[in-house]
Structure 1
């Protein structure tokens, strides 16, 4: 057991101090966005909005995310990742605190849009910072560490958020959210100032290529949109399926969804370390991840036995653990030939668009065609995603990035 634990810790070796600080800042930031899981409840119960109104407010949430990712990429290329990260975190903290004072439909649509616009400017800037502070050979594992921080933040955030609502009301939630973002800004300012921190991979491109002219990257973005579209079903339509088709209790559903985060925390870093040492390309590994995720839907139609839910969750979790880190590393590698902020912004936008359409489309498909047919459609979309990644693998082998 001691040897196993030591081998697990060894998978973190070689990551720079700055990457660890960036992971801590991400953890504080993500744990701090605890208002997000409770937003629909706050809008319906506290402010008494209709579900139709909440739907439009959540659309403003998605649109703000897309606009913020795009703007963050542009500003990162213009003024640098550090300034964008500091200003995004600090402004998000202030806006979260201010959000509690909005109570009309129009003001909340604008307010939520602005919060997400400013908050998601952080993402492309963070990815570029991650690329700068990571040695080229450690970038995939650096991404994996950030994912661990995000997963821990999302796990702790709702639990703490529920406690705050119980003891302090929703108003306290906005205050704590805002303060944690401001604290993350302070940590960032103290430990990650580029003048003091050690840059591991300072990429300077004299004549950068536009991401919009990169054919391989656009194949990749379409594939990532499709992957995000089907992946998000596990957090919207799938819990309803667990409840209605398999009559699971809230506790059982929570344990099943919680197993996803637990396995990621336990296995993702060793798995990525092992795959990094293999001879497989990033695009071929993404293909494998997409296939596993697509299979996680089709197995649900094989049997009415509830054990298939565990099989499906396991396949999706392994697919996610492979596809996300290597897709992120692929985007950062591709960004070396052009405007890094622009590349990483488009990567973030692909998933933001998946958020806008994925949840709503999944619900409508279930309502119109039932669960079994919806899972067949999701498997088909996963197959299209895998096929695009197969084509991408062929393309990048024939057209490698010039060093």
Structure 2
């Protein structure tokens, strides 16, 4: 493609999106540029603090558990308090808890604060995704989610390299740096990102009493098709997680070093940064059902091919296969979640969806460790192929009658307009006790 063609493609990729989206995108990029804890927690605990690998694993599990819990709480907060307040609370809580974690020395204190960091850092995800769905028209959502995912990986790639140098100087500097970058995100959201929560549904009268047609958490859990998508998301993310828990163990068993693993897994980040935008241009107007089926098969059999790897080059080749699946799956699946979510319940729906990834992050290490120890790595990769096939079949069954989102004229049907909280006289006064409890629940990407 010529230089002019590349410029045209780039312009078409980024044009037409609301200004508010780009401020939100910038806050995501800044947030991932400051990532440190998730990347270097294990090395910090074992090398700097001298704790055992088992203790480091326990802390990582508590960090993940915090993310599981906050996914639901943050989803509720996103719908009740609003997208912007939830993001601000989550980011401020993350900044404080990360800074505190850097100065903790007692093992119980480290574990407890790591749990809080997991809660806080994960709580902004439902709000960010719900806000993007609010402000971006349906026809552009896959493109917007893809650009956001690209920012996450670009920021994470840069921060991982920078954090390695920072860790050689001072781990504490890494914690403080992440806290400061998260504060910058909070400032960006506070100054530049307006609230986008749609207006509440019309008030109905039931037996002479006023009642709202409100989407509750139980509504989400009773939504059979959506919960099926959440279950399939769990299966797919369980596969992707093996790139960070099963793959290094398998490569070590083959006599390869940690630097060999770093070389192989770096292919993942490089390909996402290089291909996410052009691949999105190719898939953004294609049938999401086919894309999810194909990406599930690519993920499963991409990891399945790892059973035949024995050198760094072959491992890197398998990473190429499942990375392509990741590039296609991430924005498509997020767009599907929005398509299945009512506007007033987007926070709760996104929270339950986010939880599927958090639970997978907890289950994947247990799964890989058990299978490798008892049966060998080849069985793990075979299981990934089976899981990918099951997920592909599940998407086909669930979405056979799913209507296309972009029907003629749909983009001209406005969603309920966002209005300030004080302009809703029908909205109940917040319960102070519930607000305190919600704040406790609040808060990477890939």
TM-score by length of 2: 0.83
Which 10-residue stretch deviates more, 369-378 or 330-339?
330-339
CA contact (8 A) 2:264 2:312 kept: no
CA contact (8 A) 1:293 1:316 kept: yes
Which 10-residue stretch deviates more, 329-338 or 79-88?
329-338
| Correspondence for 1:182 | 183
| Correspondence for 2:54 | 52
Between the aligned partners of 1:139 and 1:400, the Cα distance in structure 2 is 11
Q: Assess, with a 3 A threshold, how the Cα gap between structure 1 residues 309 and 42 changes in structure 2: closer, same or farther.
A: closer
| Correspondence for 1:322 | 328
**2:284 aligned with 1:276, yes or no?**
yes
Between the aligned partners of 2:98 and 2:363, the Cα distance in structure 1 is 25
Residue from 370, 373, 383 that aligns with 2:389: 383
Between the aligned partners of 2:46 and 2:69, the Cα distance in structure 1 is 26
**SS of corresponding position for 1:394:** coil
Deviations 1:175-195 (A, max 9, x none): 11111111111111111133x
Between the aligned partners of 2:20 and 2:405, the Cα distance in structure 1 is 33
CA displacement at 1:338 relative to structure 2: 5.3
Q: Assess, with a 3 A threshold, how the Cα gap between structure 1 residues 57 and 310 changes in structure 2: closer, same or farther.
A: closer
| Correspondence for 2:418 | none
| Correspondence for 2:171 | 170
Between the aligned partners of 2:405 and 2:171, the Cα distance in structure 1 is 53
Greater helix share, structure number: 1
CA contact (8 A) 1:84 1:122 kept: yes
CA displacement at 1:251 relative to structure 2: 4.3
**SS of corresponding position for 2:400:** helix
Between the aligned partners of 2:73 and 2:342, the Cα distance in structure 1 is 20
CA contact (8 A) 1:211 1:338 kept: no
Between the aligned partners of 2:298 and 2:192, the Cα distance in structure 1 is 39
**2:249 aligned with 1:240, yes or no?**
yes
| Correspondence for 1:100 | 102
Between the aligned partners of 2:136 and 2:143, the Cα distance in structure 1 is 9
Structure 2: give runs of 5+ residues left out of the alignment.
Answer: 203-212, 414-446
CA displacement at 1:88 relative to structure 2: 1.0
CA displacement at 1:229 relative to structure 2: 0.6
Q: Tell me which stretches of 4 or more aligned residues in structure 1 moved more than 6 Å.
A: 398-403
| Correspondence for 1:211 | 220
CA displacement at 1:72 relative to structure 2: 0.6
CA contact (8 A) 2:235 2:387 kept: yes
CA contact (8 A) 1:16 1:134 kept: yes
Deviations 1:226-278 (A, max 9, x none): 10111110112113323432x44544433322222222122222222222223
CA displacement at 1:8 relative to structure 2: 3.4
Between the aligned partners of 2:372 and 2:9, the Cα distance in structure 1 is 41
CA contact (8 A) 1:96 1:115 kept: yes
TM-score by length of 1: 0.91
CA displacement at 1:327 relative to structure 2: 0.5
Structure possessing the higher radius of gyration over alpha carbons: 2
CA displacement at 1:45 relative to structure 2: 2.1
**SS of corresponding position for 2:402:** helix
CA contact (8 A) 1:216 1:395 kept: no
Between the aligned partners of 2:94 and 2:343, the Cα distance in structure 1 is 31
CA contact (8 A) 1:81 1:126 kept: yes
CA contact (8 A) 1:69 1:346 kept: yes
**2:358 aligned with 1:357, yes or no?**
no
| Correspondence for 1:260 | 268
CA RMSD of superposed structures (Å)? 2.4
Between the aligned partners of 1:400 and 1:178, the Cα distance in structure 2 is 41
CA contact (8 A) 2:91 2:121 kept: yes
CA displacement at 1:350 relative to structure 2: 0.2
Structure 1: give runs of 5+ residues left out of the alignment.
Answer: none
